[in-house]
Amino acid sequence: MLHLQPRVKVKVMRIGLLAARAGVTTSRIRFYEAQGLLPPPPRRHSGYREYDERALEIILFINRARGLGFSLAEVAAHLDSPQDHRRKSRLLSKMEDKIRELDSHLADLQSRRTTLLNLATELRRNMAQDQ
Amino acid sequence: MLHLQPRVKVKVMRIGLLAARAGVTTSRIRFYEAQGLLPPPPRRHSGYREYDERALEIILFINRARGLGFSLAEVAAHLDSPQDHRRKSRLLSKMEDKIRELDSHLADLQSRRTTLLNLATELRRNMAQDQ
DNA sequence: TTGCTCCTCACGTCACGTGAGGTGGC
DNA sequence: TTGCTCCTCACGTCACGTGAGGTGGC
């Protein structure tokens, strides 16, 4: 054994593997970096980005939050906020806001649906008379 | 009576009045024209657009359709379609498509809502334990 | 002359996807 | 050498809103 491995061996990966593991495109990852959501990773001499597991966790977090309807700006604000005990209470109030937003959006879609159904019914009757 | 009025007297209006009556901005009206949704009206020598009542009806139609969730491209396709008896049946099937879209969107938002509620409950419990 | 309306660009928004044109690495 | 991966711009998407800079009309 001529070589000692460093004590902390960090597995690294290039952007393509990270993207595949996170289920996103590489361009999306570069976009998140450009927007400040993902810290710029170290580069190889070739310029290739070199990621570790934390990058994967951040992307998965963003994915979840986006899936719940948070904007990237909202996600960024949360990622930037200090990790103290007030973080949770801020997060909770954001979630409550989001639920209220969803409720009004749902009501809106429901009323559209009703209107469309009524119009469709009217139109069908109308067409039957044309016969 | 030296002057005979033309048989068909058409009331005209400038873009500002049209916008106010339709409840939209003037820039939106110019945009609809640029997109081909609204036919380009005649101009005064000054270049000002001169609209009649049909323009108002078209804009109100667009407003309604947009309010129901149709995209401008969908509205444009409908406005361009020939005015025959098949128009109604095409419109009906578009409306049925749109209702199905709404249903899946509604289901999506409902499940987000449920997830958010669960997360919020969990977070509250979690915070209570921190005390 | 004032001030309101109108005109035409051109850019910004949101969250990326999709090239174009070029290079590293097995 | 091939071909896959990676790189950096730059532009397109959707439906407009918002200036900038200039002019008509009462």
Q: Specify the pLDDT at position A9.
A: 64
pLDDT tens-digit profile of B117-129? 999 999 999 888 8
**CA-based nearest residue in chain A for residue B113:** A99
Give just the sign of the alpha carbon dihedral B22, B33, B25, B11: negative
pLDDT band at B131 (very low <50, low <70, confident <90, very high): low
Strand D bases contacted by the protein (CB, 7 Å): 5-10, 14-19, 23-25
Is residue B12 within 8 A of residue B51, CB to CB? The reply is yes
Give the amino acid at B128. Answer: A
User: Taken in order A16, A17, A18, A20, is the CA torsion positive or negative?
Assistant: positive
Helix (H) or strand (E) holding B87: helix B86-130
> Between residues 38 and 67 of chain B, which touch chain A (CB distance below 8 Å)?
67
What integer is the mean pLDDT of B86-90? 88
Q: Which residues of A touch B95 (CB under 8 A)?
A: 116, 119-120, 123
Chain B within 8 Å of A78 (Cβ-Cβ)?
no
**pTM for the predicted model, two decimal places:** 0.86
pLDDT at B9: 64
pLDDT of residue A127: 87
Residues of A in Cβ contact (< 8 Å) with B123: 88, 91-92, 95
**CA nearest neighbour of A90 among A103, A69, A74:** A74
Tell me the pLDDT tens digit for each residue of B2-49: 555 555 567 899 999 999 999 999 999 999 999 999 999 999 999 999
Q: From the list B89, B95, B106, which residue is nearest A106 (CB)?
A: B106
Tell me if chain B has a CB within 8 Å of the CB of A125. no
Q: Are B41 and B31 in contact (CB under 8 A)?
A: no
Cβ–Cβ of B112/A105 closer than 8 Å? no
C-alpha distances (whole Å) from A68 to each of A33, A71, B26 are: 21, 9, 36
pLDDT above 80 for B113: yes
Determine the Cα–Cα distance for residues A122 and A12; give it in Å rounded to an integer. Answer: 62
Using DSSP, state whether B72 is helix, strand or coil. Answer: helix
Provide the residue-wise pLDDT of chain A in tens; the chain has 131 residues.
Answer: 445 555 556 789 999 999 999 999 999 999 999 999 999 999 999 999 999 999 999 999 999 999 999 999 999 999 988 877 888 899 999 999 999 999 999 999 999 999 999 999 999 998 888 76
Q: Which residues contact B94 (CB under 8 A, 6 or more apart)?
A: B70, B74, B78
Give φ, ψ of B51 to 5 degrees: -105, 155
Q: What per-residue confidence (pLDDT) applies to A62? A: 96
Mean pLDDT over B65-89 rounds to 90
Mean pLDDT of chain B: 90
Partners of B129 on chain A (C-beta within 8 Å) are none
CA–C1' nearest nucleotide, residue A44: C24
